[in-house]
Chain A
Amino acid sequence: MHSLYRKANIMYIPALILFVVFVVYPFFSDIRIAFTNWNGFSQHFKYVGFLNFKRLFTDDNIRTSFINTLLYGFGSTIFQQILGLAFALLLNEPFPGRTIARTVIYLPVMISAVIMGYMWIYLVEYNGALNDIVTLFGGGKVLWLSDAHLAVAVIIAINTLQFVGISMIIYLAGLQGIPNMYYEAASIEGAGTWICFRKITIPLLYPSFVTSVTVNLIGGLKLFDIIRALTGGGPGYTTHSLATLIHSSYFASQNAGYAAAIGVLLFVIILFFTILLQLVFKGKEVQYT
């Protein structure tokens, strides 16, 4: 039987070729470019040693983008867990309109994030929809995207709302996997709703929590589309993430070597958090038998 399947090994060769050409080779070429002062199009460039990497540690724009990347990643993740779990609990048991609500909450996931960002401009611009509400309640018009801190918060909020549907359905799937007999047994023992939630729902949702946090965090750390649409990284460099900074360093500043070095940094950050999440979450699952 095994010799039969050994012949089948050819079937993964096309996939491996793609991975080597479009992931492994670029990975090493990224590291090579990061050691040069190449501008992205000229035939001439010099190896400059660790210059680009040293610059990473002294560049204020990198510091801002690095902090923003963490804010986008963790900010979105935290709010998506709170809202996603709340929505899942709200829409778990049947009531009229439940299916429609689930469908609508998940709907923005289908929209390209860059188009979603542009659509939000109609809400956050000076004469936009949000300021109409603010003035209705007697407030002064807010410049949502001119203040760096506020703009970062707006981006986090938009990203959270657009993709909260993913967390919601992951938690819904988790809730449906909890057998009803646990709740029945607990209520016979005299446990109330809150105790049931604390002692049964929360621990048994742990796998869903792990999945949802991982998906949201990795997605948030790579955030690109919404930032490009809403602020383009501005005002100044204050709302850039590392992903958008790579693009602007390469195409706007024509500094391919530096862009490649930022790419290495982003790779290290995402790898670090991927491994960290696996270590933190490992072996904490509960099982009731």
Chain B
Amino acid sequence: MKKKWLWKVPLSLFICFVQLVPIYITLTVSLKPQTDMSSTWTLPEQPYWNNFATAIEAGGLLRAFLNTIVITAVASFLVIILGAMAAYPLARNPSRLNRGVKTFILSIMMVPASSLLVPLYVLLVKLHAVSTYWGIIAVHVTFNLPLAIFMYSNFIMTIPQELDEAALIDGCSVYSIFRRIILPLIKPITVSVLILTSVTVWNDYQYSLYFLQKPAMKVLTLSIAAFFGQSGADPHVAAAAALMAILPMMIVYLCLQKYFMKGMVEGAIK
């Protein structure tokens, strides 16, 4: 039989090549000293690792890593807890009030955060929350919550209500039904919410640029931007810093890529 798929292999290879070019070029730049004037397409004969050492020493990169991890972890945790909690009554009790609340959350989703950054900044200044963990976390949680609530509420609606009723007869309160019956059952969608939220928060630049102004509070994206933005900065050191910054997320993605794609589709379709 003729292999009808054979033409797909070189085409796929070419597309993969295009998608990997920026990373590859950054890699070759990061492995050369500033004196190296060769084309960025060529790898050096001797990799020059000093750029990585310089990047770690100079830019407060480790501090930025730590800040990014703390902010991403706490924000994702809160989105999951608050999102699941809010979704439960909305999914189970479609009263007039709750349908109104759902519409309200839907309209919150329509408000693009980018258009609110000026008043949000003013608000955070008033609350003394600029350059604090809780300020940026509150903003991230707020703007990731609506999607999480919708994903959870759609999922909870597929869980048979008979389970709740059985637990009620056994003497459970509504809160313990939520904790003992619902929470364990929503794990699959929690994985998707966790992935969507943590990727968004980890990669965020815009909110962080507005709300994290102190050097000690820099996250990874701000720290990398500083490497590239300084006049007279060594582009080879910046390349090394950029590679180190994208590496953790890429490793996690490559290990769990099936869940990442599933989560993305679920988030988009809602």
Contacts and interface: CB of A to CB of B under 8 A. Distances in A.
B60 to A, nearest CB: 16
B225 interface: yes
Interface stretch (B44-52, B186-194, B239-247): B239-247
Interface in B161-213: 161, 164-165, 168, 174-175, 178, 199, 202-206, 209-210
Contacts of A212: 268
B53 interface: no
Contacts of B108: 19, 23-24
Interface stretch (A88-96, A137-145, A146-154, A180-188): A88-96
Interface stretch (A121-129, A194-202, A281-289): A121-129
Contacts of A237: none
Nearest to B116: A26
Contacts of B253: 107, 110
Interface stretch (A9-17, A58-66, A74-82): A9-17
A103 interface: yes
- Kindly state the interface size class of chain B when it binds its partner: 35 or more
Interface string A1-33: 110111111011011101101111111011001
A228 B205 contact: yes
B169 to A, nearest CB: 11
Contacts of A93: 5
Interface of A is mostly: helix
Contacts of A22: 120, 123, 138-139, 142-143
A106 B174 contact: no
A206 to B, nearest CB: 13
A8 B123 contact: no
Contacts of B149: 12, 15
Given A29-B123, A95-B8, A132 B89 contact: no
A5 B92 contact: yes
Contacts of A267: 111-112, 115-116
Contact of A224 (B26, B82, B114, B261): B114
Contacts of A105: 15-16, 19
Contacts of B58: none
A1 B165 CA distance: 8
A120 interface: yes
A97 B9 contact: yes
Chain B: interface secondary structure? Answer: helix
Most A CB within 10 A of own CB, among B25, B164, B235: B25
A119 B105 contact: no
A106 B257 contact: yes
Interface in A214-232: 215, 218, 221-222, 224-225, 228-229
A132 B19 CA distance: 18
Contacts of A87: 15
A194 to B, nearest CB: 16
A132 B111 contact: no
A222 to B, nearest CB: 5
Contact of A114 (B86, B143, B224): B224
A26 B143 CA distance: 13
A194 B254 CA distance: 36
A24 B104 CA distance: 10
Most buried by B among A24, A95, A270: A95
A71 interface: no
B119 A118 contact: no
Given A27-B111, A122-B239, A246-B117, A11 B101 contact: no
A250 interface: yes
Most chain A CB inside 10 Å of its own CB: which residue of B11, B104, B145: B145
Contacts of A169: 261, 264-265
A15 B93 contact: no
A134 interface: no
Contacts of B257: 103, 106
Given A9-B98, A12-B86, A169-B264, A263 B117 contact: yes
Interface of A: 1-2, 4-9, 11-12, 14-16, 18-19, 21-27, 29-30, 33, 87, 90-91, 93-98, 100-116, 118-123, 128-129, 132, 161, 166, 169-170, 173, 211-212, 215, 218, 221-222, 224-225, 228-229, 243, 246-247, 250, 256, 259-260, 263-264, 266-267, 270-271, 274
